[in-house]
Amino acid sequence: MSKTIIELQHIYKKYGDFTALNDINFKLNQGEFYTLLGPSGCGKTTILQTIAGFTDATSGQVLFDGQKINDIPASKRQLNTVFQDYALFPNMNVHDNVAFGLVLHKVKKAEIEERVHDALKLVQLDQYANREIAELSGGQKQRIAIARAIVNRPKVLLLDEPLSALDAKLRKDMQYELRSLQQNLGITFLFVTHDQEEALAMSDQIFVMNKGQILQKGDPVDIYDEPINHFVADFIGESNIIPGHMIQDYEVSFLGHTFECADAGMRPNEPVEVVIRPEDLVITTPEKGKLQVKVSTQLFRGDYYEILAYDNQDNEWLIHSTNATKDNAVIGLTFGPNDMHVMRYNETEAKFNSRLETYEE
Ligand SMILES: Nc1ncnc2c1ncn2[C@@H]1O[C@H](COP(=O)(O)OP(=O)(O)OP(=O)(O)O)[C@@H](O)[C@H]1O
């Protein structure tokens, strides 16, 4: 098991009556890529700022390498932050921006030159040392901000929506670059985004947040396939979420039919919600379908059609299909036991008990 480098224990942050962070607990291991994912205002930046030392928690402990660091100033913490707006110094060239922290720490000139060169090489901008910041593209500025952070050789890099200012294509390229940079450097990344695709693509572990709490922690496949509640299922990718009830282990009922499923451990008759991802539904004839739905509209998405349909109880169904269908057509849908994920209904509002994190190994 890798070593824990950062640990948050019972972190609360209050602004007057408003609770921005509500009992945050987690551990970050050395060398892994973690993402805080959640909607705007859920507290992601506040967590980064608490770890970085730019804001004080109202209560709770921040540990770095096993030592409490709540009272250690930001500049003395062995971590660096990459901000959304890059925060580069516009009046200094690329070299001086990257060298800034080293000069401040009075590192010897020869070492500064070597480390700046290495950092720029890592972000593939070693030819740009003498460029002015104004002469760089958005993606290049982003890389310089990363070079400036990694030149200090931090054990942990905090990244606050670092790709949000980039266009879609560049953003994708940078996702690959950041991921491989993290793997090459072997340092811990804590990355903030509200973009679920970005989180799924890049992370070893994701913390899904809402309203100042961590609702679920897991690797991207777990989070996608086994969302703990309605919020997570809805937030992570597109899903059909249908109310129903459990008959017994491995048997669930919804829309008046009983289906074999892969879930167990709930009470007979317990109200549940069933999640089926749009790409797991297969269109067939109405007679062969396990369910019948009526097509409302469809959109061509390039490599698939996104079809919107309704069942006879007016539940909305989203279906991804490589074949087009016709508006107003009645179609059949099939799906297997493993294409359904059954969630307890009363967990809809429940949160992942992040307190358990503290004791988890
Ligand atoms: N100085 C402050 N005073 C009062 N409320 C604040 C302050 N800073 C943050 N908040 C509130 O705390 C909550 C969490 O803010 P935070 O910036 O951490 O959210 P976020 O998840 O990073 O959002 P975004 O994705 O929009 O950046 C928000 O509701 C915000 O309005």
For the stretch 249-302, pLDDT in tens is: 999 999 999 999 999 999 999 999 999 999 999 999 999 999 999 999 999 999
- Has residue 214 got a pLDDT over 70? yes
Task: Give the mutation target among 35, 44, 55 for probing the ligand 1 site: most ligand atoms within 8 A of CB.
Answer: 44
Partners of residue 191 on adjacent β-strands: 35, 159
**Spacing, Cα 123 to ligand 1 middle (Å):** 31
**Spacing, Cα 45 to ligand 1 middle (Å):** 7
Q: Measured between alpha carbons, how far is 249 from 261 in angstroms, rounded to an integer?
A: 8
Q: Measured between alpha carbons, how far is 119 from 144 in angstroms, rounded to an integer?
A: 9
Return the number of other C-beta atoms located less than 10 Å from residue 294's C-beta: 15
Summarised one tens digit per residue, pLDDT across range 305-327 is: 999 999 999 999 999 999 999 99
- Has residue 346 got a pLDDT over 90? no
Residue nearest to atom 14 of ligand 1 (CA): 43
Contacts 24+ apart (CB under 8 A), 65-73: 65/5, 65/155, 66/4, 66/7
Cβ < 6 A, ligand 1 pocket: 15, 18, 20, 38, 40-46, 194
pLDDT at 162: 85
Mean pLDDT over residues 103-107, rounded? 90
**Spacing, Cα 22 to ligand 1 middle (Å):** 13
Torsion sign over Cα 343, 344, 348, 354 = negative
pLDDT at 80: 87
Say if CB 338 and CB 262 are below 8 A apart.
Answer: yes
pTM of the model: 0.86
Residue 231 phi/psi, 5-degree rounding, is -60, -50
Ligand 1 atom closest to 43 (CA): 18
Average pLDDT score over the chain: 90
**Spacing, Cα 302 to ligand 1 middle (Å):** 37
Torsion sign over Cα 315, 319, 323, 327 = positive
Mean pLDDT over residues 102-129, rounded? 91
